[in-house]
A and B are shown apart, each in its own frame.
Chain A
Amino acid sequence: MVSKYKKAFRTISWLILITCFTAALFHSPAGLAKTASPFDPYTKIKLDSGLTLIVKEVHSAPIAAVDIWVGTGAKNETPEIAGISHFFEHMLFKGTGKRKVGEIAQAIKAVGGYQNAETSLDTTHYYVVVPSDKVNLALDIEADAIMNSSFDPQEIERERQVILEEKRLKEDNPQGKLGLMVYQTLFTGTPYANDVLGTSDTLAKINHDTFVSYYQRYYRPDNIVAVVVGDVNSEQIIDQARLLFKDFKGSTKKPALEFKVPTFDKIERVTATMQVDQTYLYFGFPGPGMNHRDEAALSLLGVIMGGGAGSRLNQEILEKKQLVNEIAAGYSAMEKLGMFVIYARLKKDQTVTLESEVQKMISRISNQGVTSAELIRAKAMLRSDIAYTTESDANIASIIGEYQINGDLEDAAIYLTNLQNVTAKDVQRVAKTYLNPKAYVLARIVPQEVNNQ
């Protein structure tokens, strides 16, 4: 069970995930108004309860993934209940009316499968991967957990301690700590500055009643997407799902989330010290959220700047100037906003030099644009990554679920059309628009003795 601070911190790997399935797109004639869904064929239905079910058959291996997505995450939390989305995620596998503590894990293990869950700022999802002849069990367990979790007070107390342990681990991890620093600085004043893990104070106050209230507010059928991918029969899955979810009802309406997207007009540097040998840093630039027309160009800009050994940052900063030991860049879009991030690990604290070089690179791209060769390379890399991603049923289920819960699965086709149509001019334009060399957050973790720059 992991908290997912931000896709950007998986650097290029998440970029790859959210930009997958473009193979058909890139091979199709240019100029189409809208590309066919990259997930075709699939079946999407809304059950009587209002829950959306998507089934995609993939028969290359006897495996199936069941992934249930809920449209709530840390951004939906008020300050008093900070951390509840993630805490709730932990509790969902802690027993139901018919399965006691530990029985869910045992039941999945007994068929040779595995389970896990993730909470991010936008969403929470629960997945089980099993040999495909056990997909009915997996769906049954997931449905049971979603609808009938017990929230036993004793279990809540135990899990509270587990989450406090998780918080300690995150604090001890330079990258984990850095991620929170950049988010909280860049998105301060918005729900996207929330810590997915919450605070010790808020965690201490969450109880059974808080969980029930949160559940009623967000775990409603119309806020949930169930995805099944693998060596399965769609009709059988649909029949089973209709039965399992027939009594699932939502009791209150999901509250709307409204806030003002911040503008950022200065360079803000935040620094923390740790017992580390090297400096770790993130540059963060605010950008648009999912389904914005510039998302595709920003993704390609990320690959051109910092995706792969042939990217500009790798070639110029790491290989030629040898200013860093590791560097990467990527764009991460969330539901309401996004962030272009550059990550680096440095030998000593050469931040000043690196910062100057990054500013120059951004200015160069803004003024001179990128080459057609760079754009071809970036598109080719994404095209291949699609193929790699589609090897895994769990990955496919995850991508389908995330698209649907954040809007519509068909948005993937629009995004891919946008990607296909991105030109070098577009990349230059988004660089100029969103990568302001005079307005960003620079978050650093530095060795304890190096904190004076």
Chain B
Amino acid sequence: MIGPTLWLTLIGMGLITYAIRLALILLLGRLALPERAQRALRLVPPAVLAAIIFPELLRPAGAFDISPGNARLLAGLIAALVAWRTKNALLTIGVGMAALWVFQAVYRP
């Protein structure tokens, strides 16, 4: 996907986001969000994020790789530990990148 198509897609993404943000500000009183829906919406971030992370770590080259030779899996696990303990985004990214470089240097001398 290049050029005009990508631009149109980008504008479409903007319109979708804007419509979601605007909808209930305009429709208040005529439409309330049920409790069930509100609780389900809270689950969107964990589901989407995990759906991206798992394949990136466990299928880095398209095929399953659950071995110590998978540098991205090891670095990702270390980063996850840092994220869980510190809740610090920049530190997580920094440690994760450093771990990746170390593992890559070890495996591919």
B partners with A: no
| Chain B interface residues toward A at CB < 8 A | none
